[in-house]
């Protein structure tokens, strides 16, 4: 549960056996000195800052058909990097959970966050790391793509068609940024986070993304108190209230954690929300202080 409150170029050697006489006049006896050097084979590398009609998990060349981001599309490639080190020496592309894939995830997190203006998990965005196909890898490809999508909601990761780049999509008064919500509860579990205007009556607000430590997923899911406490600290910073034991009496927490496969691939971002169950809020709690978020 995610919610918790080569082409080859070469030349053959030629041997000329000349017996007894020299070359005829005007004939160059050196058959290779005037030949141009062979051109090195160029490995395909996808482009950044292009968009695509179809999402990819594996970057097959046959499926590579980029389009301008001003046209309707589903995916935008924001960064293309190169795998190095031991991971690049393997005979196959990095597998799920591998050091190589985690390194690519970390690099994509960094580059995409810079491009969109905030942690990509703080808004309706998805991020996919795309690697070369096994055939391309065998041919020397070592690139990775950071592909970004617009998703329907925090609960529904369906990818929607859009026009225009997502660069700067989470800067300023960005419509894709997570803000205020009304949690829909079913038997004390969060069934859905319904987005609403922060000036409308609501009971929850997004406060930030906590980067969880490098532990196993099993340990992470066992230590729910640590995650709750980390989100409390984010609430304190967001609302400008003391980060102490009184936080238990100011607000509760809701958080969304990565799925296990996302965790294994390097996603450690936990989305934190403050939650007020006993009264309506009609403004953002950002910088609200102790008057806006009192002890109750």
Q: CA angle, 97 as apex, 93 and 100 as ends, to 5°?
A: 45
Confidence bin at 96 (pLDDT 50/70/90) = very high
Same-domain status, 196 and 101: no
pLDDT tens for 198-245 read 999 999 999 999 999 999 999 999 999 999 999 999 999 999 999 999
Enter the pTM of the model: 0.85
Same-domain status, 163 and 264: no
- How far is Cα 262 from Cα 250, in angstroms, rounded to an integer? 32
**What per-residue confidence (pLDDT) applies to 4?**
58
Q: Report whether pLDDT(24) > 50.
A: no
**What per-residue confidence (pLDDT) applies to 40?**
43
**What per-residue confidence (pLDDT) applies to 245?**
94
Can you give the residue range of the structural domain that contains 229? 178-296
Residue 238 domain-assigned? Answer: yes
Same-domain status, 51 and 120: yes
Residue 108 domain-assigned? Answer: yes
**What per-residue confidence (pLDDT) applies to 77?**
99
Same-domain status, 50 and 165: yes
- How far is Cα 116 from Cα 168, in angstroms, rounded to an integer? 4
Residue 205 domain-assigned? Answer: yes
Q: Report whether pLDDT(188) > 90.
A: no
Domain end point (choices 104, 137, 171)? 171
Instruction: Calculate mean pLDDT across residues 182-209.
Output: 96
**What per-residue confidence (pLDDT) applies to 2?**
60
Residue 96 domain-assigned? Answer: yes
Hunting for tokens 């391309």 — which residue is that? 136
Q: Report whether pLDDT(58) > 50.
A: yes
Domain end point (choices 171, 203, 227)? 171
The total of other beta-carbon atoms located within 10 Å of residue 136's CB is: 20
Residue 254 domain-assigned? Answer: yes
Residue 28 domain-assigned? Answer: no
Same-domain status, 152 and 258: no
Residue 31 domain-assigned? Answer: no
Residue 4 and residue 227 in contact, taking contact as beta carbons nearer than 8 Å: yes
Same-domain status, 105 and 156: yes
Same-domain status, 248 and 196: yes
Domain end point (choices 171, 197, 228)? 171
Burial class (CB in 10 A: 0-12, 13-18, 19+), 262: middle
Same-domain status, 195 and 118: no
Same-domain status, 210 and 269: yes
Question: How far, CA to CA in Å, does 168 sit from each of 78, 162, 246?
Answer: 11, 15, 37
Same-domain status, 132 and 183: no
Residue 36 domain-assigned? Answer: no
Instruction: Calculate mean pLDDT across residues 38-45.
Output: 64
Instruction: Calculate mean pLDDT across residues 265-284.
Output: 97
Same-domain status, 226 and 273: yes
Residue 208 and residue 234 in contact, taking contact as beta carbons nearer than 8 Å: yes
Closest CA to 286 of 167, 125, 178: 178
Closest CA to 105 of 249, 287, 266, 295: 266
Q: Report whether pLDDT(181) > 90.
A: yes
Same-domain status, 291 and 189: yes
Percentage with pLDDT > 70 across the chain: 86
How many independent structural domains does the chain possess? 2
**What per-residue confidence (pLDDT) applies to 43?**
81
């Amino acid at each position: 549960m995610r919610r918790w409150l080569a082409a080859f170029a070469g030349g053959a050697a030629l041997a000329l056996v000349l017996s007894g006489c020299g070359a005829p006049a005007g004939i160059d006896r050196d058959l290779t000195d005037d030949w141009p050097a062979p051109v090195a084979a160029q490995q395909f590398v996808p482009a950044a800052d292009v968009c695509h009609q179809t999402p990819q998990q594996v970057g097959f060349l046959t499926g590579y058909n980029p389009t301008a981001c001003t046209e309707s599309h589903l995916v935008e490639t924001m960064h293309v990097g190169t795998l190095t080190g031991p991971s690049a020496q393997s005979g196959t592309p990095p597998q799920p959970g591998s050091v190589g894939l985690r390194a690519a995830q970390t690099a994509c997190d960094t580059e995409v966050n810079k491009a969109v203006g905030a942690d990509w998990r703080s808004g309706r965005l998805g991020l996919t790391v795309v690697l070369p196909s096994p055939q391309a890898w065998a041919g020397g490809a070592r690139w990775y793509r950071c592909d970004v999508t617009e998703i329907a909601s925090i609960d529904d990761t369906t990818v929607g068609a859009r026009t225009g780049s997502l660069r700067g999509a989470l800067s300023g008064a960005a419509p894709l940024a997570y803000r205020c919500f009304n949690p829909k509860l079913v038997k004390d579990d969060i069934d859905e986070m319904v987005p609403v205007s922060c000036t409308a009556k609501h009971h929850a607000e997004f406060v930030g993304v906590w980067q969880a430590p490098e532990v196993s997923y099993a340990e992470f899911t066992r230590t729910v108190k640590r995650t709750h406490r980390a989100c409390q600290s984010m609430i304190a910073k967001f609302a400008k209230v003391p980060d102490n034991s009184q936080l238990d009496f100011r607000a509760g927490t809701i958080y969304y954690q990565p799925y296990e496969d996302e965790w294994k691939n390097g996603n450690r971002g936990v989305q934190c929300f403050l939650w007020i169950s006993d009264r309506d809020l009609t403004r953002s709690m950002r910088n609200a202080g102790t008057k806006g978020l009192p002890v109750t």
